[in-house]
Structure 1
Amino acid sequence: MRITVNGTPLEETPYLYPGDYASGEKFDVMVPAAKLWLMGDHRSASLDSRDHMKEPGSGFISEDAVIGKAVVRYWPLSRGYLFSRPDAFDKVK
């Protein structure tokens, strides 16, 4: 299953764990203002927002809870990658 943001499919190959997939389960969420939806890079083994959808908060966290920003993957060196914000996040629906 491919992840879309504001109707635009994301190209996740550069940062997903080799051989992994975007998500094995279908879900549809609208992220409220000042909240974040988090998904791991090893999706088939990540306990991310998808696993907390039925709990209080519905899997979202507050932007205020974030203390840093991922900008680069440096290990393993063969998979080094500079993260950037996909243009799909700039579209307002």
Structure 2
Amino acid sequence: MPRSNRPRGRKTTGDDSSALDIERLTLGWRRTETRRGLSYTVQPISAVNARKSYVCPGCGREIAPGVEHVAVWRADGVLGDEADLSGRRHWHTHCWRIA
């Protein structure tokens, strides 16, 4: 009988070290960047999760639904996390890199 090349599934050992980190999956690769002496939180938005239209503050053009981009907000604001998050802006990835 010929050999099958189909994956057979993996056996789990039951330890938590191999479990997926759900928070990391839902947040993507969130990172903190410093620009002009200020800290910003940068959250990549995948094309699948880009469901709304935004205007990029870097170039003034539309970020259409389905276009990969980044959401950016202050990481060190004095008014708190909620105020910082409500002030987030969606940028084209290229526009954020050159800003």
TM bucket by the smaller chain?
under 0.3
TM-score normalised by structure 1 residue count:
0.23
TM-score normalised by structure 2 residue count:
0.22
Compare the two structures and name the one with the higher strand fraction: 2
Larger radius of gyration: 2
Q: Of the two structures, which has the highest relative contact order with CA contacts closer than 8 Å and spacing of 6 or more?
A: 1
